[in-house]
């Protein structure tokens, strides 16, 4: 995500010329419309006419509704309705609590159940489970579909809502209704715990091949990756496997910085193009591992920033991609702060790999396709049984001169 910006509320043009936001009266709107003196442009005038129904409904509810009205909840519902109407699960309005939760995730820790999820059409699908988490202990598996959080049904367009509902105070419980193809619908009750997200882990597989696993791109990922890279080089690493399986993405700048370790300085890592055809190129900062033989592990859960990384390595022919086709999220979001601790996360552009490919809804096909058997998903992970890793190790060893 790009740098944070202040969100100027210009969606209702009339707000720019009056204090109508504090009155909400259709009478005020109609008064303005009937005496348009040139303050509003023709476009603004048309927008005001279109949006006056919103304020008309508010006025009628104030006058006739026989019950308590929570104006804050009403305003939040109206704003969330606007974002949800777009049908884009990545464009979301955060209230104060949701925005705080979102920030804790990008900072590397939060209280919840330890799941990584993605929107896949109408479904919310599990793509990763953190070790020693409530979700891991309950036996939740990748590709499980989350249907309900407590008694609230959730769908792919409500991804952030589902994530927010699963988070909560440490020690409290949450009930998930899930669907698994081999099991059908089932429920689990989880006790929320503090989740420390360790996005980078690494080790030497043998005396020459190193492995670095990257679970997401948070504020610390690039620096921690660089530290691990130097540690493994110091242990004699001559070839490297980078495991991006189940990595849902994260912060764009962190991804670019991580990719810079392997790409010549000033080469384009990724380009973004917005609705106005403005292009921004993110270039390599250069790094200390130029020429390091690489193998990149990907699967259906590798999304967004993971795909940017994999796409750049593929396009510059710097490594071999092994595993399964990636998720296919080729759009970029930014955060626009809306005041009072709230924010809008909005899709602002599409991204393109160095060769100019946008992989949205298609994904990146690996150079070497290896299926991960579904039967292994129900077992405790054993690297010796992992066919994708086995092939990656074989290729990594073959690259050593």
Question: Domain containing 366 — which CATH number?
Answer: 3.90.226.10
How sure is the predictor about 389, in pLDDT bands with cuts at 50, 70 and 90?
very high
Is residue 164 annotated as part of the catalytic site, yes or no? no
Average pLDDT of the chain to the nearest whole number:
87
Higher-scoring residue by pLDDT: 190, 49 = 190
Domain count, the chain: 3
Q: Which of 164, 239, 260, 304 is catalytic?
A: 304
| Residues of the chain above pLDDT 90, percent | 65
Residue 240 has pLDDT above 90, yes or no: yes
Residue 14 has pLDDT above 70, yes or no: no
Same domain? For 316 and 236 the reply is yes
Q: What is the pLDDT of residue 49?
A: 81
Higher-scoring residue by pLDDT: 12, 125 = 125
Same domain? For 207 and 167 the reply is no
The CA–CA distances, whole Å, from 309 to 260, 280, 290, 325, 349 equal 10, 17, 15, 14, 17
Q: What is the pLDDT of residue 106?
A: 63
Higher-scoring residue by pLDDT: 6, 48 = 48
Question: Domain containing 152 — which CATH number?
Answer: 2.30.42.10
Distance CA 15, CA 150 (A): 39
Structure tokens at 355: 């060769």
Q: What is the pLDDT of residue 11?
A: 24
Tell me the average pLDDT across 287-299. Answer: 96
Residue 315 has pLDDT above 50, yes or no: yes
* Final residue before a domain boundary, out of 195, 221, 247: 195
Q: Which of 218, 243, 299, 315 is catalytic?
A: 315
Q: Is residue 79 part of a domain?
A: no
Distance CA 330, CA 351 (A): 6
Cβ pair 202, 232 in contact under 8 A: yes
Higher-scoring residue by pLDDT: 241, 89 = 241
Q: Which of 58, 118, 167, 329 is catalytic?
A: 329
Q: Which residue segment(s) compose the domain that 294 sits in?
A: 197-398
Residue 27 has pLDDT above 50, yes or no: no
Structure tokens at 276: 């106005």
CA angle 323, 237, 395 (to 5 degrees): 30
**Of the listed ranges 5-19, 106-120, 297-311, the one predicted with least confidence:** 5-19
Q: What is the pLDDT of residue 131?
A: 80
Same domain? For 231 and 277 the reply is yes
Residue 22 has pLDDT above 50, yes or no: no
Work out the angle between the directed axes of helices 96-107 and 159-166 (0-180°, nearest 10): 80
How sure is the predictor about 108, in pLDDT bands with cuts at 50, 70 and 90?
low
Q: Is residue 189 part of a domain?
A: yes
Distance CA 62, CA 68 (A): 10
Q: What is the pLDDT of residue 29?
A: 47
Same domain? For 188 and 245 the reply is no
Same domain? For 33 and 168 the reply is no
Higher-scoring residue by pLDDT: 98, 38 = 98
How sure is the predictor about 272, in pLDDT bands with cuts at 50, 70 and 90?
very high
Same domain? For 210 and 185 the reply is no
Same domain? For 261 and 376 the reply is yes
Q: Which of 127, 130, 171, 174 is nearest to 148 (CA)?
A: 174
Same domain? For 227 and 188 the reply is no
Q: What is the pLDDT of residue 245?
A: 95
Same domain? For 213 and 228 the reply is yes
Q: Is residue 305 part of a domain?
A: yes
How sure is the predictor about 378, in pLDDT bands with cuts at 50, 70 and 90?
confident
Higher-scoring residue by pLDDT: 258, 380 = 258
Q: What is the pLDDT of residue 5?
A: 39
The residue length of the chain stands at 401
Residue 26 has pLDDT above 50, yes or no: no
User: Considering the entire predicted model, what is its pTM?
Assistant: 0.78
Distance CA 71, CA 58 (A): 9
Given phi > 0 = left and psi -120 to 50 = alpha, else beta, which region is 168?
Answer: left
**Of the listed ranges 23-37, 180-194, 309-323, the one predicted with least confidence:** 23-37
Q: Is residue 56 part of a domain?
A: yes
Tell me the average pLDDT across 234-242. Answer: 97
Same domain? For 45 and 103 the reply is no
Q: Is residue 84 part of a domain?
A: no
**Of the listed ranges 72-86, 157-171, 380-394, the one predicted with least confidence:** 157-171
Same domain? For 131 and 259 the reply is no
* Final residue before a domain boundary, out of 156, 177, 195: 195
* Final residue before a domain boundary, out of 161, 195, 229: 195
Q: Is residue 334 part of a domain?
A: yes
Q: What is the pLDDT of residue 21?
A: 31
Q: Which of 401, 116, 373, 391 is nearest to 241 (CA)?
A: 391
Residue 46 backbone dihedrals phi, psi, to 5 degrees: -65, -40
Is residue 260 annotated as part of the catalytic site, yes or no? no
Residue 17 has pLDDT above 60, yes or no: no
**Of the listed ranges 35-39, 178-182, 289-293, the one predicted with least confidence:** 35-39
Given phi > 0 = left and psi -120 to 50 = alpha, else beta, which region is 9?
Answer: beta
How sure is the predictor about 6, in pLDDT bands with cuts at 50, 70 and 90?
very low
Is residue 304 annotated as part of the catalytic site, yes or no? yes
Same domain? For 176 and 138 the reply is yes
Cβ pair 385, 370 in contact under 8 A: no
Q: Is residue 260 part of a domain?
A: yes
Residue 25 has pLDDT above 60, yes or no: no
Cβ pair 384, 363 in contact under 8 A: no
Q: 254: which residues sit within 8 A by CB, 6+ positions away?
A: 217, 218, 219, 221, 222, 305
Q: Is residue 371 part of a domain?
A: yes
């Amino acid at each position: 995500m790009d740098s944070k910006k202040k969100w100027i509320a210009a969606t209702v043009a009339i707000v720019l010329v009056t204090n109508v936001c504090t009155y909400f009266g259709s009478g005020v709107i109609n008064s303005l419309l009937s005496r348009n003196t040139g303050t509003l442009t023709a476009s603004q005038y048309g927008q005001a006419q279109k949006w006056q129904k919103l304020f008309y409904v508010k006025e009628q509810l104030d006058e006739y509704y026989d019950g308590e009205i929570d104006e804050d909840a009403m305003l939040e519902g109206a704003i969330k309705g606007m974002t949800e109407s777009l049908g884009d699960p990545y464009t979301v309005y955060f209230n104060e609590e949701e925005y705080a939760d979102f920030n804790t995730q990008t900072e590397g820790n939060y209280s919840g159940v330890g799941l990584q999820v993605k929107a896949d059409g109408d479904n919310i699908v599990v793509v990763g489970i953190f070790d020693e988490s409530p979700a891991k202990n309950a036996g939740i598996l990748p590709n499980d579909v989350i249907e309900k959080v407590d008694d609230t049904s959730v769908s792919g367009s409500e991804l952030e809502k589902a994530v927010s509902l699963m988070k909560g105070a440490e020690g409290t419980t949450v009930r998930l209704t899930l669907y698994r193809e081999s099991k059908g619908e089932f429920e689990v009750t989880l006790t929320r715990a503090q989740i420390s997200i360790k996005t980078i882990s690494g080790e030497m597989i043998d005396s020459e091949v190193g492995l670095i696993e990257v679970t997401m791109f948070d504020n610390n990922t690039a620096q921690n990756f660089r530290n691990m890279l130097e540690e493994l080089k110091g242990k004699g690493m001559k070839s490297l496997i980078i495991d991006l399986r189940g990595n849902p993405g994260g912060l764009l700048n962190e991804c670019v910085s991580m990719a810079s370790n392997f790409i010549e300085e000033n080469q384009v890592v990724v380009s973004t193009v917005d609705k106005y055809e403005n292009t921004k190129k993110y270039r390599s900062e250069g790094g200390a591992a130029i020429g390091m033989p690489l193998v990149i592990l990907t699967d259906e859960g590798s999304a967004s920033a993971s795909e940017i990384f994999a796409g750049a390595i593929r396009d510059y022919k710097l490594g071999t991609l092994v595993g399964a086709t990636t998720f296919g999220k080729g759009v970029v979001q930014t955060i626009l702060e809306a005041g009072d601790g709230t924010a809008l996360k909005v899709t602002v552009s599409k991204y393109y790999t160095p060769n100019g490919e946008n992989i949205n809804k298609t994904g990146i096909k690996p150079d070497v396709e290896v299926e991960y058997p579904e039967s292994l998903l129900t077992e405790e992970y054993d690297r010796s049984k992992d066919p994708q890793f086995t092939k990656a190790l074989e290729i990594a060893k073959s690259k050593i001169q």
